[in-house]
Structure 1
Amino acid sequence: MKHVELPSGSVATGEPLIELSGIVKTYGGEVPVEVLHGISLSIYPGEFVAIMGASGSGKSTLMNILGCLDKPTRGTYRFAGRDVSELGRDELARLRRDEFGFVFQSYNLIANATALENVEVPAIYAGLDLATRESRATHLLGALGLAARTGHRPSQLSGGQQQRVSIARALMNGGRIILADEPTGALDSKSGAEVMALLQSLAERGHTVILITHDREVAKHARRVIEIHDGNITSDTGPDLAAANAPVLPASEPGHSSLAADMAEAGKMAIRALRTNLFRTILTLLGIMIGVASVVAMLAVGQGAQREVLARIGSMGSNLLVVRPGAPNERVQAGSSVLTLIPEDGDAVAELPNVSAAVPERSGQVTLRIGNRDYQTQATATTVDMPETRNWPVERGVFFSRADQDGRATVAVIGQTAAKNLYGEADPVGSFLLINNVPFQIIGLMGPKGASQFGGDQDDVVFVPVTTGSMRLFGDPSVRSLTIAVTDTTRMDETQAAVTGVLKERHGKEDFQIRNMAALVETISSTQRTLSVLLASIAAISLLVGGIGIMNIMLMSVTERTREIGIRMATGAATRNILQQFMTEAVVVAAFGGTLGVVLGFASGAAIAMAGLPLQFTVLPVVVAFACAVMTGIVFGFMPALKAARLDPVTALASD
């Protein structure tokens, strides 16, 4: 048991709560300045100590070291027997949180928080749940005469009321040690007297109160007065015997908060902070909004274009092989006499495995006539398998039969565009017309097909049996294409090779070329995907700009709220708490901007769709765009948050 000789000759028993030995503090720079010169001091639990000195004497520096806000250059500081120099940054934060309560001359309240929220701050970092925090903070404010002011912000409180709020905050986690730095310096005499009465009351209840003051009248309220001058202790009335032997006030018991609770609190504080600078926050949101909206809309345009092209190709059938006359890499012009395919080639190919149908076709311009009305369109001579092969059903009437085909019947099935131009709204089925002066009966009306992938109108057509067309319309048995439907598309290449073999055997040479529609679909899909990536990359630049905006706003926020950061550190915020707070603010901005951006993207898409452009919204791009916005907040918010978390508490508190 350690014994301390008192000036009266009596002896105080018990271990000192705070013990300084040879404390030296030097501030660096071009010319280092030593502010404290070997301070040695012991303070016992329950003492009411006044450290008195003129401005520049080193008393505030000593208080910062006592409160673990600053570290000595040399010397030993033991708290409850433990060497404080062995504690890391977060362990010091826990010590401030659980043991110390600070009362500052300038109050150091968070400007955008209410009195109740200011008092709750230490308990948040102690892990107390919301109900317990609110109950304790309300009780403390009520005990200090501020029950009617719990919802007021600091700007709505008088100086004396603000100092009472800071005292309530100091007591929130128990405040075994109250460090009061010039607590009456900014108050009128009446408010100052009330604050001193509160501090005396706390000392009587067992709190260790350390008062920093330049005023001798204020110092007289303490039971022990230590005078400091030019960094040296010049006098000390000695430990208070009664306090040194009094029962020790127990340390506060920290709570245990969950990660979800921590995140919820960080989110709440983030929203409050962002609301304070609403206009600047909105400007930052615009960058993220435009970026996300651009990504959503651009990808929708890209996917819409891809769907449109694939739909047009799919209308022909993506399981098709199309054979055309002419050697590979040789283009056969319309009207060319190089026509090497005949209907019988289709019959031979139809016998191959994995081939469900082989449709020979020949097309050419014809004139349709009804009475004295003429109309130029395209006639296609084909087979009965065409509707199934090209996925093109008949809307009304029937398609010609195999008997029609074998008997060279003069029957026709007309497309929607040709029918509308000739018949208007009347039903063409059953009527007769002339095709190149050859009479035909219309037995069916094809369903609507739309434009082809090459831009033509597929509905501007009339279909006739291939045998009839060859003999009655074109006068030539050859065909211009052979469309082959494949059963199993996974064997397209194998089937294409078999078709090539059969036709080479029949023709004696390779005087044809085959187009694989599945390969064409894949090529176009790949091109469209590349285009979508390009569009998304261009849109992502907006997200980058938004990310830079987030970094700017967070850096400005850190600069403007440096004192607030110091306050939070003084009340127990660890590095992760500060990091989490500012990261949460960045993510909240990004997430809110991302949400608005998704809405704006859909609205932009609706406007684009009204302009007639193809559009397709899918879940994945929207989710990816939103996730990228949040990730942008994380990436660009990290450096400012890290800067805030690494601030020195003393430097932060001294910031204007």
Structure 2
Amino acid sequence: MNTPLIELRDISRTYRNGELATTVLTDVSLSIQPGEFVAIMGASGSGKSTLMNILGCLDKPSTGQYLFQGRDIAQLDKDALASLRRETFGFIFQSYNLIPSASATENVEVPAIYAGMPREARHRRAERLLTELGLGERLRNRPSQLSGGQQQRVSIARALMNDARVLLADEPTGALDSQSGKDVLALLKQLHERGKTVIVITHDPKVAAHADRLIEIADGQIIADSGSRSEQPAAPQSPAEEHPIRGLLGDTLEAVRMALRALRANLFRTVLTLLGIVIGVASVVVMLAVGNGAQKEVVDRISAMGTNLLLVRPGAPNTRRSVDGSTNTLMPEDAELVAQVDNVRAAVPEMSGRATLRFGNTDYQTSVTATSPDLPLARSWPVANGVFLDQQDNARYAAVTVLGQTVVNNLFGDQDPLGDYVLINNVPFQVIGVMSERGATPWGSDQDDVVLVPLNTGSLRLIGQRHLNTITVMVDDLGLADQTQEAVRQTLIQAHAGVEDFQIRNMASLIDNVAQTQNTFTVLLGSIAAISLLVGGIGVMNIMLVNVTERTREIGIRMATGARTRNILQQFIVEAMVVSAIGGALGVLFGLAFAAGLQALGTAIQFTSGPVILAFACAFATGLIFGFMPARKAAHLDPVVALNAD
């Protein structure tokens, strides 16, 4: 006697629910040879479906031994059992167990997907099987568009997709009309004649009569076994078609296709899930663009004032200017000394005060700055019209002035001010130039709201002081700025009898500090936006958990047709990642569009690839992270429990 294809030795199956134990099978022993047509018949609740689940490796016995071709099934792990179901068994269920969102062809292709058959090859085979079963005109129909008999034929085609050696049919005619039932039984008979081992589970003696061997079961025990009616050896089984095996890329692409189909089947819920990701990604893109734009604008404004500048101001370091003026220690002579230091291109003395200007019947209050001719050079601030102050103006205490654009607009409007006289604190000054428009400083003051006069003239006739408010030092070689700063410091300490009653600020260092502050601000904005992305990720996880719950039967179907743990895990992770990727792409587009709108309204925006890549990568990672737990839950479902889910 050859080794049996299937051999059960004293199999028992007990289900436990807390302390409650229900025994469904008790000491069942049987053997089935290759090529047999066996009917297992019993009343409802007799344990025949449980026996079928054990035979098909969907369930495991509580006790006893199941040998398949002499190999103990108990020694196989979950993926090895999936491989056995995929390559050896084909299931024909009473309730058909077709995937509702898939067409007839796609349903038939499922086992071949997990067998690694290329898409075109399995597509051709599925269509050929359906055509042979009389469904050539129903290839694109979904289960809801098929009759019960047609759905059962699709189920049979699916069982044959991987050329299964053993067909397990659970009440194959139970939900069919008489004619459809006869057709299905005829098909099973034909398949048996082609060498398939057919095991039919039924309660109907008429169905059991088509089998060559009848096994009766009652109360979980075999009570009768007729043995095979045929003395003839089984017909040889037709060899399975050979197909190249699809690689990892093919598996991933197939998972993406299934994910898109599943998401399309629940379009409204998918849109709501996408919305959370879109808002999160768009927030990251917009807020980082705003933060980077604000940083660039502030740094540019400071840079426009000159990055190669040292600002020398009165007062010892870390002290405030006193009320009695004791910190007013910088004098014009200090600027002359600083100008002689190596690597100093210009040293511009500045003193300032408030003044009232009058032209015609218009009065205007603004600030007056008394300075030297080097100010346009040091500040990179050219004259727009006319000329700037020169050394002769300073030497002869000339009553001439150069106006900022804001002053010109308020006093002269559209009139050209060159050559006209304005009263500054009731002293007439001739306008010889107009500065180019500069805009606001990073701290908000208007740089164009200023009147510039010669240093000596302003000191004597307008401001009434000799001490300076600032000495602006222009460094020639920025690489030597630190050394030059120290040289200026030592020069002034020596001139002030060893007392450091001044402080020096390096504009390059100021820019670095401002940039760091703005970076912190940008990170803060990005963190706030990331919270939106996190909320979107939680939404993805919730939806995927709902998906797993709603599609539990589909998961069972896939496991019954040979899906490994990693296949189920991959499918649901890919679904979450596809949602996140689509949401990320839409979020990036909406974020860029919104940021462009803000830019059109005057908000400082800086578009860079970094925030876009970061936001999209975060969305993708969100799908991976938040999709893992639902996917893991799906991958570890019990096949029998999943198949019986409502």
- Superposed pair shares fold, TM > 0.5: yes
Deviation readout 1:106-152 (Å, 9 max, x if unpaired): 00000111111111111111111111121111111111111111111
- For 2:479 and 2:633, locate their aligned partners in 1 and report how far apart those are by CA, in whole Å: 57
Q: 1:573 aligns with which of 548, 563, 570?
A: 563
Report how far residue 42 of structure 1 moved. Answer: 2.1
Pairing 1:121-520 to 2, within 5 Å after superposition: 121-239=110-228, 241=230, 244-250=233-239, 253=242, 255-332=244-321, 336=325, 338-402=327-391, 404-405=393-394, 408-489=397-478, 491-508=480-497, 509-520=499-510
Report if the CA contact (8 A) 1:609-1:615 is conserved: yes
- Cα shift at 1:294: 2.2
Aligned residue type for 1:566? G
Matched, 1:655 2:639: no
1:23 match: 11
Q: Is the 8 A contact 2:274 2:579 kept in 1?
A: yes
The alignment's TM-score, normalised by the length of structure 1, stands at: 0.92
The superposition leaves residues 359-396 of structure 1 with CA deviations (integer Å, 9 ceiling, x where unpaired) of 11112223444455443332222223322322222233
For 2:52 and 2:574, locate their aligned partners in 1 and report how far apart those are by CA, in whole Å. Answer: 33
SS in 1 for 2:284: helix
Q: Structure 1 residue runs of 4+, over 6 Å off?
A: none
CA distance in 2, matches of 1:528, 1:242: 89
Displacement after TM superposition at 1:503 (Å): 0.7
- Matched residue type, 2:4: P
Partners of 1:195 and 1:290 lie apart in 2 by 53
Which of 531, 534, 548 in structure 2 is aligned with 1:544?
Answer: 534
Q: Which string of whole-angstrom CA distances, capped at 9 and with x for unpartnered residues, describes residues 478-515 of structure 1?
A: 32101122345455444333222111110111221222
Distance in 2, Cα, partners of 1:609 & 1:321: 34
Q: Which amino acid aligns with 1:644?
A: A
Is this contact kept in 2: 1:47–1:240, CA < 8 A? no
Per-residue CA shift, 1:509-552, capped at 9, x if unaligned? 12212223233323332222222222222222222222221121
Aligned mates of 2:4, 2:644 — CA distance in 1: 30
Pair 1:642 & 2:637 matched: no
Per-residue CA deviation, residues 43-63 of structure 1 (Å, 9 max, x unaligned), is 222222111111122211111
SS at match of 2:20: coil
* 2:526 aligned partner, one-letter code: A
Counterpart CA distance in 2 for 1:113 and 1:46 is 32
SS at match of 1:454: coil
1:18–1:79 CA contact under 8 A, matched in 2: yes
> Does the CA-based 8 Å contact 1:126-1:254 persist in structure 2?
no
Q: Secondary structure at the match of 1:193?
A: helix
CA contact (8 A) 1:45 1:243 kept: no
The answer to whether the 8 Å contact 1:289/1:596 transfers is: yes
Deviations 1:141-189 (A, max 9, x none): 1111111111111111100000011111111111221111111000000
Report the CA distance between 1:631 and its aligned residue: 1.6
User: C-alpha separation between the residues in 2 aligned to 1:275 and 1:132?
Assistant: 25
Give 1:323 shift.
1.1
Structure 1, 219-228 or 233-242: larger mean CA deviation: 233-242
Question: CA separation in 2, counterparts of 1:361 and 1:334?
Answer: 20
- Alpha-carbon deviation of 1:340? 1.8
What residue is the counterpart of 1:563 in the other structure?
553
Do 2:417 and 2:431's aligned partners in 1 also have CA atoms closer than 8 Å? yes
Residue 81 of structure 1 is matched in structure 2 by 70
Is residue 532 of structure 2 the alignment partner of residue 532 of structure 1? Answer: no
- Matched to 1:31, the amino acid is L
Partner of 1:20, secondary structure, is strand
Structure 1 counterpart of 2:616: 626
The 1-side partners of 2:261 and 2:343 are apart by 68
1:20 and 1:42 in contact (8 A); partners too: yes
2:558 maps to a residue whose letter is: R
Quick check: 1:43–1:239 contact (8 Å CA) kept in 2? no
Greater CA deviation, 301-310 or 119-128? 301-310
The residue type equivalent to 2:16 in the other structure is G
Letter aligned with residue 90 of structure 1 = D
Residue pair 2:399, 2:429 contacting (<8 A) in 1 also: yes
Q: Which letter maps to 1:18?
A: I
- 1:78 and 1:371 map into 2 onto residues whose CA distance is 113
What secondary structure does 2:137 align onto? helix
Q: Is contact 1:325-1:340 (8 Å) kept?
A: yes
The answer to whether structure 1 residue 113 and structure 2 residue 102 are counterparts is yes
**Deviation of residue 256 (structure 1)?**
1.8
SS at match of 2:345: strand
CA contact (8 A) 1:293 1:597 kept: yes
Kept in 2, the 8 Å contact 1:46–1:249? The answer is no
- Cα distance in 1 for residues equivalent to 2:323 and 2:289: 38
Question: 1:255, 1:654 → 2: CA distance?
Answer: 34
For residue 49 of structure 1, give the secondary structure of its aligned residue in structure 2: strand
Q: Count the aligned residue pairs.
A: 644
The answer as to whether partners of 2:118 and 2:243 remain within 8 angstroms in 1 is no
The residue matched to 1:32 in structure 2 has which SS? strand
The amino acid that maps onto 2:533 is: L
Gaps of 5+ in 2: none
**Partner residue in 2 for 1:10:** none
Structure 1 residues 479, 492: closer, same or farther in 2, change over 3 A?
Answer: same
- Decide whether aligned partners of structure 1 residues 240 and 445 sit closer, same or farther in structure 2, where only a CA change above 3 A counts: farther
- Determine the structure 2 residue equivalent to 1:64: 53
- Paired letter, 1:89: K
Structure 2 CA distance for partners of 1:242 and 1:140, relative to 1, 3 Å: farther
Distance 1:41 1:435, change over 3 A: same
Secondary structure in structure 2 of the residue aligned to 1:363: strand
In structure 2, C-alpha distance between the alignment counterparts of 1:469 and 1:254, rounded to whole Å: 95
Q: 1:243 to 1:581 in 2, by over 3 A?
A: farther
% identical aligned pairs: 62
CA distance in 2, matches of 1:423, 1:617: 40
Once structures 1 and 2 are overlaid, which stretch shifts more, 555-564 or 618-627?
618-627
Q: CA deviation at 1:25?
A: 1.9
Q: What is the letter of the counterpart of residue 648 of structure 1?
A: D
Cα offset, 1:477, TM superposition: 3.8
CA contact (8 A) 1:321 1:483 kept: yes
Query: In structure 1, what is the Cα distance between the partners aligned to 2:611 and 2:419?
Result: 51
CA separation of 1:134/1:468 partners in 2, compared to 1, >3 Å: closer, same or farther? same
> Deviations for 1:325-379, whole angstroms, at most 9, x for unmatched residues?
1223333379947532122322322333343322111122234444554433322
Q: Mark the CA change 1:362 to 1:490 in structure 2 (over 3 Å): closer, same or farther.
A: same
Change (3 A) 1:398 1:243: farther
Question: Contact conserved, 2:36 with 2:234, CA < 8 A, in 1?
Answer: no
Cα root mean square deviation, aligned: 2.4
Quote the offset at 1:255 in angstroms: 4.3
Distance 2:421 2:181 in 1: 111
What is the TM-score when the length of structure 2 is the normalising length? 0.93
Give secondary structure in 2 for the equivalent of 1:28: strand
Deviation larger for 608-617 or 550-559: 608-617
1:614 to 583, 600, 604: 604
